[in-house]
Structure 1
Amino acid sequence: MRLGITIFAVCFMASLLSGCWDQKLLKDERLAFIVGLDLSSDGKIQTTTAILDVSGSESGTKKYSEIHTVSGNTSRHNRDIIDREVPGRFSASKMRVILIGEALARQGIYPILDVFYRDPSSALNAKIAVVEGTSKDAINMKLSGTKLISEHFSKLIQSAENRTIVPAVDLQLICPSMLDPGDDFAVPYISKSETKPSVYGIALFSGDIMKDTLKSEDSFLYLLMNDKLAKAGSLTLKINEEGNREQEKYIAMNIQRLKRKMKVNVNGYRNIHVTLDLNLKVTAIEYPKDHLNDRRVLGELNKKLSEELTRRAQAITKKMQQANFDGFGIGRRVMAYYPDTWENLNWIEDYPKVEFDSKVTVEIVSHGIMN
C-alpha cells in the first residue's frame, strides 16, 4: 500500500514538472530591438524594424542591424510578413524602443499597439516616442560611430528623462491613461535633421490621438507643474533687456527642490476652478551680470524669474486646454471627488472651459562659490 502511494506521488510530481513543451529557444528567435510604425500612402500600416544580428570573425564579435520595412493591414499582419522574410521567428520580447510617425500618431495609436498588449511575451517596458516625419527615415538614419540605432534612441530618450525634458513613460504606463476619460499622457517628440535625431520636447495626446507638441523648455516646466522632477533639471531664461553684452541678459539655473500644490474646486455642475501653486528652490549656475551677493539684486531676480515662469505656466495650461490635453488628471479628480458633477459633464467639451490659476514662485538659494 505504501509503495503504491509513493509511486503515485512520484508520477504526479513528474507530471507537474513536465512544463517545457512550449519552450522558445533564443537561438530560434530573431530579436527586434526597435520598431517604427507609419501610415503609408495607401492608408495601410507600414512597419520598419531593426533586427539584431551578430557575426563572429577573427577580429571579434560584430553586431549590426538588419532593417526590414513592410506594409500591411494591421501590426499583426506586418509581423507575419516579416516572419516570412527572416530566417527564424520574429520576436518583440526584447523591444527597447517603439517609434511612431507623426501622421499615424494624429490618427490614433491604440489600434497599432493592441498587438503588444495582447502578446504575453511583449516588452511592456519599451520606450515609446513620436518622430517628426516618418519613423522609417529615423530608423534608416546613418549615425556616426558603431552604435546600434536601437541603442542610440534608447539612450537619447533615457538622457532626456533624467534631465526632466520628457516624462518617464513606456508602453505599459501609457495604457491606463489612453483608456481613461479623465487623464491624458505625453510621450517624447523627436525631431530629426539630415545627420542626427534630437529630442524636441513632448507630444500631447488626448485619448490615443496626438494633438500638439511642447518644445523642451515648456515641457520642462510642464513636468515641474506636474510634480515630476527627475534626477536633474536646468533652465536658461532671458530676464534683462538692458546691457551692452547679450550674455548678461540671461541666467541659467538648476532646480534643487520643488513643492507643488494643486486644488480642484467645483461650484455647480460646470464651474470648475483649478489652483496650481509651484514653489521652486534654485541654484544660479550662470549669471554673467553677477552681484548675486547683493540682497537687493537677488530679490529683483527672484521677482523677475517668478513673473516670467508664471507667464509661461499660464501659456502652457492654455495650450493644454486648446489641445484637449488633460495632463494633470483634472478629470480623474472630478470623477473621484465630484461624481455627480462628472455624470453631467462632456469632458471633451467642458475641459477647455476649466479655469486655471497657475502661479510660480522662485527663490535663488545658492549662487555657486563666487561672491
Structure 2
Amino acid sequence: MKRWLMALICLLMLTGCWDERQFKNVKLVLSMGYDVGEEGGIIQTVSIPSVRRSVEGPGEERIQVISTPAHTPREARDKLDQMISETFDPSKVKVILLGEELAKKNIFPLLDELYRNPNSNLNSYLAIADDGTARDVIDTKNTSETRISQYIGGLLEAAVYSTHATGENLQLLCAELLEPGIDFSVPMVKVDEEKQLITFAGMGLFHDKQYSGEKIEPDQSTLYMLLQGKRGKIARLTAKVSDEHEEEMLNYVSVNVMSSNQDLKLEIKDNEVTAHLKLKMKVRIVEYPSDHLYVKGKVGRISNKLAEVLTAESEQIVSQLQEANSDILGVGRRVKAFHPKVWKELDWDKDYPEITIKPKVEVEILQHGITN
C-alpha cells in the first residue's frame, strides 16, 4: 500500500515536458548579423540550416541566408518569421556579427532583445566584419565548412586557443558594456573574396558601448592579450632581436610562453594617475635559425633584447589604447575601487587618454629545445 501511495505522490509532483519545443516546429538560426540600414534602421541577416530528407542514406543539408530591413532587431525577427517555414528560434545562435559602420554606434540597443529573451544563447560570440558588412561574411561560400556559423565559430575558438582573442561571449560582455571604468575589445573578421576565406583581422577596441574605429593588428594581438593577463593554451611570440645578419631570418627568434604574470599598480599624486604595468614571462625558444645558443651569455643577451623589444611594442599598444580612449586594462575600475574620492573628481572619458601608463616586460628563457 505504501508503494502505491508513494507512486501516486510522485506522479502528482511530475510536471512533465510542459515547456518542450519540438525541433520539427522551429527553424534554428545559427549565425546572425546586423548592418546599417536606411533612415537610421538596421538590416538583419541570418543563416538557417535545413535538411532535405532522403529515401536512401543521410539527408542533404542546405543553408538558407535571409536579410530584411527593420527599425529594431525584434521587428526584424518578426519579419523573418514571416519569410520562413516553422518558427524563428535563436536559442542555438553561435555567432553574432556586426557590420563595421553599425558597430561604431551604440551597440547595446542591438543586444537588448537578446538579453531579454530567455531563449537566447548568451554563449554566442560577438565579432565585427572588418571593412565590410555582416551579410558579406555570413553569405561567404566556403567548401571546407557547410555551415558559416561553424566556420566563424571555429575560427574564433582557434584565436582564443592561440592567445589572439579573449573568447568573451554575450554574457561576459554585458558587465563591461554597463560598468564605467573598463572597456572591452571584440574579434574582427575579414572576407578574402578572391580565396573565399574568412580570416582573423585583429581585435576591435571599444570605448563605452561603441567601436572606436581602432584595432589591434593580428601580429600584436598575442602580446595585447598577455598585457591583460589572459593566455590561451598556446602563446607564441616572434621578435627581431638582432641586426647583425644579412639574411633577415637569422635576426629573429620565436618563443612559446610557458607562464606569464601580469601586475598593474597605481600611483596617484595630486589626482594625477600613473599606472605601472609589469608583465613577467617564462618562455621556451622554439625557433632560432642563428643557433649557437651554447655560447656563454648568449641566452641571457637574447632574453634581455627580447624584453626590450616587447616593452617597446607594449608601449605602442598602450599608446593605441589611449588614442582610442579604450580602457581595456581597467585602470578606471581600479581607481574607482581603491581611490573613490579621486574617481569622483575625475572625468574619466577626458582624463584617461592623458594619464601615464608605463609598461615593462621581463623575459626569462627556461628552455631552448633539444639543439643548441
With normalisation by structure 1, the TM-score equals: 0.93
Structure 1 residues 286 and 96, CA, compared in 2 at 3 Å: closer, same or farther?
A: same
What residue is the counterpart of 1:175 in the other structure? 174
Structure 1 residues 142 and 306, CA, compared in 2 at 3 Å: closer, same or farther?
A: same
What residue is the counterpart of 1:246 in the other structure? 248
What residue is the counterpart of 2:24 in the other structure? 27
Q: Is the partner of 1:341 in helix, strand or coil?
A: helix
Q: Is the partner of 1:295 in helix, strand or coil?
A: coil
1:9-34 per-position Cα deviation (integer Å, ceiling 9, x unaligned): x79984x6457555422221110010
1:111-141 per-position Cα deviation (integer Å, ceiling 9, x unaligned): 1111100001100001111111101001111
Q: CA RMSD in A?
A: 1.8
1:337-363 per-position Cα deviation (integer Å, ceiling 9, x unaligned): 111111111110011121111100112
2-structure distance, mates of 1:169, 1:60 = 35
1:36 partnered with 2:33? yes
1:241 is displaced (CA, Å) by: 2.0
Query: Which of 71, 74, 77 is the matching residue for 1:76?
Result: 74
1:366 is displaced (CA, Å) by: 0.9
2-structure distance, mates of 1:109, 1:314 = 29
What residue is the counterpart of 1:217 in the other structure? 219
Q: Is the partner of 1:189 in helix, strand or coil?
A: strand
What residue is the counterpart of 2:50 in the other structure? 53
1:46 is displaced (CA, Å) by: 0.6
What residue is the counterpart of 2:354 in the other structure? 353
2-structure distance, mates of 1:54, 1:277 = 53
2-structure distance, mates of 1:167, 1:181 = 20
Q: Which moved more, 1:313-322 or 1:293-302?
A: 293-302
Task: Tell me, yes or no, if the aligned pair for 2:28 and 2:91 is still in contact at 8 Å.
Answer: yes
What residue is the counterpart of 2:148 in the other structure? 149
1:171-198 per-position Cα deviation (integer Å, ceiling 9, x unaligned): 1110100111111111111122111111
Structure 1 residues 303 and 29, CA, compared in 2 at 3 Å: closer, same or farther?
A: same
Identical aligned residues as a percent: 34
2-structure distance, mates of 1:197, 1:112 = 24
Superposition pairs of residues 119-130 of structure 1, within 5 angstroms: 119-130=117-128
The amino acid across from 1:258 in the alignment is S
1-structure distance, mates of 2:257, 2:15 = 56
Superposition pairs of residues 62-211 of structure 1, within 5 angstroms: 62-132=60-130, 133-194=132-193, 195-211=196-212
Q: Is the partner of 2:40 in helix, strand or coil?
A: coil
1:147 is displaced (CA, Å) by: 2.6
The amino acid across from 2:31 in the alignment is I
How many correspondences in the alignment?
A: 362
Q: Which moved more, 1:289-298 or 1:302-311?
A: 289-298
Task: Tell me, yes or no, if the aligned pair for 2:94 and 2:125 is still in contact at 8 Å.
Answer: yes
Task: Tell me, yes or no, if the aligned pair for 2:95 and 2:124 is still in contact at 8 Å.
Answer: yes
Task: Tell me, yes or no, if the aligned pair for 2:136 and 2:191 is still in contact at 8 Å.
Answer: no
1:265 is displaced (CA, Å) by: 2.1
What residue is the counterpart of 1:3 in the other structure? none
1-structure distance, mates of 2:218, 2:364 = 22
2-structure distance, mates of 1:134, 1:176 = 26
1:48 is displaced (CA, Å) by: 0.7
Runs of 4+ in 1 over 3 A off after TM superposition: 10-14, 16-23
What residue is the counterpart of 2:292 in the other structure? 291
Gaps of 5+ in 2: none
Structure 1 residues 315 and 20, CA, compared in 2 at 3 Å: closer, same or farther?
A: same
1:243 is displaced (CA, Å) by: 1.4
2-structure distance, mates of 1:61, 1:340 = 65
2-structure distance, mates of 1:295, 1:82 = 69
What residue is the counterpart of 1:319 in the other structure? 320
Task: Tell me, yes or no, if the aligned pair for 2:145 and 2:151 is still in contact at 8 Å.
Answer: no
The amino acid across from 1:246 in the alignment is E
The amino acid across from 2:76 in the alignment is N
With normalisation by structure 2, the TM-score equals: 0.93
The amino acid across from 1:32 in the alignment is V
1:178-230 per-position Cα deviation (integer Å, ceiling 9, x unaligned): 11111111111112211111111101111110111001222211110111111
1:53-112 per-position Cα deviation (integer Å, ceiling 9, x unaligned): 112222312222111111100000100000000011101001111111110001121111
